[in-house]
């Protein structure tokens, strides 16, 4: 699973540049889909609720610092983490100083 971390991308880019950047994402994801290695892939809303402690205290976000925020996730089918890392390297997130975390999903 890829977790896209970091603050929202595109700050300081012009609308045209952002559209170009988005088109790269389409191309990248389209490519993963074509190769049949892409599973679920969704953006997450920037805010939510945090439930904590035994008293189940509910607070509003941000849960953690903006730079650690998870913007979305993609599940890919790879034979091991190395292959997943190779796939991740093509992600356009790196063009805007974004971060991507690769985590194997625990098989039960």
Partner 1 sequence: MAENTNKEVDKIVDHLFRHESGKMVAVLTRVFGFPNIEQAEDIVQDTIIRALETWKFGKLPDNPQAWLYRTAKNKAIDLIRRQKVKHKIENDIAPLLRSEYTMMPAMNEMFTENEIKDSQLRMMFACCHPSISQEGQISLMLKTLCGLSTHEIAKAFLTSEDTIQKRIYRTREKIKEEKISLDYPGADAMVNRTDTVLKTLYLLFNEGYNSSHPEKLIREDLCEEAMRLLMLLTETPKTNLPQTNALLALMCYHISRFNSRLDDKGLIVLLKDQNRAQWNTFLIDKGNEYLQFSANGEVIHDFHIEAAIASAHANAPSYEETDWKMILQLYNTLLQRTNSTVVALNRAVVLGEVEGYEKAITELENMKGLEENCYYNASLADMYLKQGNSELAKEFLRKALTLTSSNAEIELVRRKLADCK
Site residues (CB under 8 A) for partner 1, limited to 61-90: 71-72, 74
85's CB contacts (< 8 A; 6+ apart) are 102
Burial of 96 from C-beta contacts in 10 A (0-12 / 13-18 / 19+): middle
Segment interacting with partner 1 (CB under 8 A) among 18-26, 55-63, 79-87, 99-107: 18-26
Question: 42 vs 80, which CB is nearer to partner 1?
Answer: 42
Distances (CA, A) of 100 to 49, 50, 75, 105: 23, 23, 12, 15
Q: Measured from the CB of residue 80, what is the shortest distance to partner 1 in angstroms?
A: 22
Give the closest residue to 75 by CA, choosing from 2, 8, 26, 25. Answer: 2
Q: Measured from the CB of residue 48, what is the shortest distance to partner 1 in angstroms?
A: 15
Q: Which residues bind partner 1 (CB under 8 A)?
A: 8-11, 13-19, 21-23, 25-27, 29-30, 32-33, 38, 41-43, 46, 71-72, 74, 92
């Amino acid at each position: 699973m890829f977790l896209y971390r970091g603050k929202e991308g595109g700050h300081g880019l012009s609308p045209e540049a952002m559209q170009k950047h988005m088109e790269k994402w389409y191309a990248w994801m389209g490519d993963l889909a074509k190769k049949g290695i892409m599973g679920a892939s969704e953006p997450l809303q920037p805010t939510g609720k945090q439930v904590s402690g035994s008293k189940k205290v509910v607070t509003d976000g941000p849960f953690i610092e903006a730079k650690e925020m998870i913007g979305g996730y993609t599940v890919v089918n790879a034979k091991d983490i190395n292959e997943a890392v190779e796939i991740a390297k093509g992600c356009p997130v790196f063009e805007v100083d974004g971060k991507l975390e690769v985590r194997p999903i625990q098989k039960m």
